[in-house]
Chains A and B, each alone.
Chain A
Amino acid sequence: MINALTISSIYVLDQDAALDFYVGKLGFEVMTDLDFGGMRWLQVHLPSDPTRSILLEKPGPPSMSEDTAAQVRELLTKGATGGHLFFQTDDAHKTHAELKERGVDLPEEPITQPYGIDFGFRDPFGNHLRIAQMTPPPSA
Chain B
Amino acid sequence: MSRASEDSNRRMLRARDAMDRAYAEPLDVPALARIAHVSEAHFIRTFKTTFGETPNRYLQRRRVERAMFLLRSTDRTVTDICMAVGFSSLGTFSRVFAEVVGEPPSVYRRRGPVPLAPSCFVMAWLRPGSN
Which residues of A come within 8 Å of B, CB atoms? 13-14, 17, 73-74, 76-79, 107-108, 113-115, 118, 120, 122, 124-126, 128, 130, 132
Contact = CB atoms under 8 A, between A and B. Distances in A.
A122 B13 contact: yes
A78 B14 CA distance: 9
B25 interface: no
Interface string B1-30: 111011101101110111001000000000
Interface residues of B, number: 22
Contacts of B1: 13-14, 17
B27 to A, nearest CB: 13
A77 B118 contact: no
A107 B17 contact: yes
Contacts of A120: 120
Most chain B beta-carbon neighbours within 10 Å: one of A77, A108, A118, A120: A77
Given A73-B6, A74-B6, A77-B6, A113 B21 contact: no
Contacts of B9: 74, 77-78, 126
B2 A115 contact: no
Contact of B6 (A13, A17, A107, A108): A13
B50 interface: yes
B17 A122 contact: yes
